[in-house]
Homo-oligomer: A and B are copies of this chain.
Amino acid sequence: MTVTTMQETHPTETCLKVSQVLGRIGDKWSLLIVTRLGEGSLRFGQLLRSIDDISQRMLTRTLRGLERDGLVRRTVIATLPPRVEYELTDLGRSLQAPVTVLSNWAAENVSTIDAARASYDAGSAGSQGR
């Protein structure tokens, strides 16, 4: 029962699920972290330096969120000082393919988007010079 074979093109339910997912990974840092972790497990400090526009606070918060959603596994090695390793779970790794698809689209179209934006802005308020 409740087979959910996803035959329809774009049912509202699916849209809402995508929105939910984007609510998790669509923030400023999650995808960056998932991508970094996709290359292998990293310690907190390594991630912090690896991304380096991120604040310590946001790294902690984002990692907690990813851990909570089952995308990242957090392993504490209780040494002194403590080590904490972060790595992708199976679920986290399964997200890499969709993200790659989006990455490729982004890489291919960001310049087009930027051009469209510049054009739009020029047409809206740019004709004031004379």
Chain A contacts to B: CB under 8 angstroms? 4, 6, 9-10, 14-15, 17-24, 26-28, 31-32, 35-36, 38-39, 67-71, 91, 94-95, 97-99, 101-107, 109-110, 112-113, 115-117, 119-121
In the complex, which of the residues B4, B70, B101, B110 contacts A112, with contact meaning CB atoms closer than 8 Å?
B70
Q: A39-B9, A109-B91 are in contact. Are A18 and B102 (CB under 8 A)?
A: yes
A72 CB, nearest partner CB in chain B, Å: 10
Beta-carbon contact of B106 and A14 below 8 Å: yes
Beta-carbon contact of A67 and B120 below 8 Å: yes
Beta-carbon contact of A6 and B91 below 8 Å: no
Q: A14-B107, A69-B117, A70-B112 are in contact. Are A21 and B94 (CB under 8 A)?
A: no
Chain B residues within an 8 Å CB radius of A38: 9-10
9 contacts between A and B (CB under 8 A): A9-B39, A10-B35, A10-B103, A68-B121, A70-B115, A91-B113, A94-B105, A98-B102, A101-B101
Could you tell me the distance between the alpha carbons of A4 and B107 in the complex, rounded to whole angstroms? 9
